Amino acid sequence: MKISRRDLEKMKIIFSLLSRARKPPNLDHAWQEKVMNHVRVLETPAMEKGFEEQFRRIAWHLIPSACLVILLLALALTTVDFFPEYEMARQFIEEPTGYLVTKILGV
């Protein structure tokens, strides 16, 4: 014999009522004091910081490194004389074949 869906539904109603009828025990003052005694020996829970606040805290540590990188890049730009458009134009005028081969081959 197999229990049909209808039978299972009928049993479900009764099981559901029985499940809801379970009464919790009375938790008295002694129980509450026991929990509080446990809590008193635990460390205070620290408030977890949000992402924004965590980022703000980390960002301060990154500022010296960021300044150093900016300084080095500025220094590199002033010392290295590199203007891509000017270099390309010069190459095209002086050596057009070489320029075209470079452009086609993608070297």
4 or 65, CB closer to another protein? 4
Please tell me whether residue 78 binds another protein under the rule CB under 8 A: no
Nearest approach, Cβ of 40 to another protein (angstroms)?
Answer: 6
The piece of 28-36, 56-64, 65-73, 87-95 that touches another protein (CB under 8 A) is: 28-36
Per-residue b or e along 11-41, where b marks 16 or more CB atoms closer than 10 Å to that residue's CB: eeeeeeeeeeeeeeeeeeeeeeeeeeeeeee
Angle (deg, nearest 10), helices 84-94 and 96-105 = 120
Please tell me whether residue 104 binds another protein under the rule CB under 8 A: no
Q: Which residue has the tokens 């005694």?
A: 37
Widest distance between CA atoms in the chain: 97
Chain contacts with another protein (rule: CB under 8 A): 1-3, 5, 7-8, 10-25, 27-29, 31-32, 34-36, 38-40, 42, 44-48
